[in-house]
Amino acid sequence: MHTVAILAYDGMSGFESGLAAEIFGMAELPGPFSAGVAPPGYAVKLCSEQPEIRMLGGAVVRTAYGLADLAAADTVLIPSVRDVEQSPSAELIEAIRVADRRGARLVSICSGAFALAAAGVLDGRSATTHWIYADALSRRYPEIDVDPAPLYVDSGRVLTSAGCAAGLDLCLHIVRSDHGVRVANDVARRLVISPHRAGGQAQYIDSPVPEVTADGRIAAGMAWALQHLDSPISLDELATRSAMSRRSYLRQFAKATGSTPIKWLIEQRVQASLALLESSDLPIEQIAARVGFESPVTFRHHFVKQMHTTPSDYRSCFTG
């Protein structure tokens, strides 16, 4: 049985440790899986430096597993650290290093990357963390290639995720890698979450459609464009729909969104294609046309650039 050790500590939130325990401990939960699909088999252990910890909100948790159990696990998962400005204890750092020397899989969620970084296991690797902490992680540990864009980074035996909810994406990715697409999809259905949420953190930092602009004309033009993605839309037409000259429209659009109209339009067309890839059997060529791309080649180019995977590979995450 593959052992997953989840770190627990005073002052922690139950969300990240809970989502990991839910996903990796699903074989112990009631409820059937789909016919012919076996639940993933993991043994989950909540490990702490002391036998009793106080969680955010006042709950008290007692556990029989300590850092020795964490160091001996097949997968070690570190949720967000309590304070990114404080170094982890020497005992925790050593436990992570022992696990690393044994060849264990090391996983962090959100700011848990700082604990892995302190142990030196991220040196020379690509990693991510919550976008709020990305600059701090990069400054403090320049040996790490910090990428603030993705929801998670799989560097082989060491995996890191972005903000708290991105831990769901990473844990599902691990299940998918260990047990295949069908099992991961069943876990996602049980949790009522997307089996594969492609894209990155940037979409959660800035809204692609501003709710308020100087006079509402930019937002009105964008709303019109979203309703006509299947038709050719020119820059001049967008400017006309917003009752502006081309030059004023470009200036006001950049001020409101930090982007260009064409770049924004391409992003929206790619986003519109996701539901069709997930839930329909339409050929890629038809999907490309339905969301307004001139050709499947153009669609694939922009899809890969934005989603970091191909339309076909994205679709395969929802089948099987």
Band (pLDDT 50/70/90 cuts) for residue 10 is: very high
Nearest to 81 by CA among 70, 89, 90, 73: 89
The reported pLDDT for the residue numbered 258 is 79
pLDDT of the residue at 70? 98
| pLDDT, mean of residues 159-166 | 92
> Are 55 and 46 spatial neighbours (Cβ–Cβ below 8 Å)?
no
Q: What's the pLDDT score for residue 125?
A: 95
When pLDDT is averaged across residues 40-55 and rounded to a whole number, the result is: 94
Rounded Cα–Cα distance for residues 23 and 187 (Å): 7
- Segment 89-111 shows an average pLDDT of 98
- Averaged confidence pLDDT in the chain: 88
What order do you get walking across the sheet with 105-108 strand by strand? 42-48, 2-8, 75-78, 105-108, 158-161, 152-154
**Which residue did the predictor score with more confidence, 277 or 202?**
277
Predicted local confidence at residue 180, as pLDDT: 85
Q: Which residue has the higher pLDDT, 151 or 89?
A: 89
**Predicted confidence (pLDDT) at residue 209 exceeds the cutoff of 50:** no
Q: DSSP labels for 13-67?
A: -HHHHHHHHHHHTGGGSSSPPPTT-PPP-EEEEEEESSSEEE-TTS-EEE-SB-H
Share of the chain above pLDDT 90, in %: 60
- At residue 185 the predicted structure's pLDDT band, cuts being 50, 70 and 90, is confident
Q: Residue 202: its pLDDT value, please?
A: 46
Question: HSE-up of 90 (CA within 13 Å, CB side)?
Answer: 0
What pLDDT is attached to residue 36?
67
Name the band, by pLDDT with cuts 50, 70 and 90, for residue 275.
confident
pLDDT reported for residue 198: 54
Q: How does residue 199 score in pLDDT terms, banded at 50, 70 and 90?
A: low
How far apart (Å, rounded) are the C-alpha atoms in residues 189 and 206? 29
Mean pLDDT in residue range 124-129: 95
Model confidence at 75, pLDDT cuts 50, 70, 90, reads very high
pLDDT-derived band of residue 30, with 50, 70 and 90 as boundaries?
low
Instruction: Name which residue leads in pLDDT, 51 or 37.
Output: 51
Q: Domains, the chain, ranges and CATH?
A: 2-191 (3.40.50.880), 216-317 (1.10.10.60)
Mean pLDDT on 255-279: 87
Which of 70-84, 162-176, 202-216 shows the lowest per-residue confidence on average (mean pLDDT)?
Answer: 202-216
Task: Return the ∠ at Cα 152 (arms to 150 and 158), rounded to 5°.
Answer: 135
d(CA 150, CA 162): 7
Each as own residue / partner, the long-range contacts of residues 89-94 (CB below 8 Å, 24 or more positions apart, any chain) are 89/49, 91/49, 91/67, 92/7, 92/49, 92/67, 93/118, 93/119
The Cα–Cα gap between 108 and 128 comes to 9
Res 213 pLDDT > 60: no
Q: What is the pLDDT of residue 2?
A: 96
107 beta partners: 77, 159
Position 158: which residue type?
A: V
Task: Quote the pTM value.
Answer: 0.67
How much is the average pLDDT of 163-176? Answer: 91
More confident call, 191 vs 37: 191
Alpha-carbon distance 128 to 78, whole Å? 14
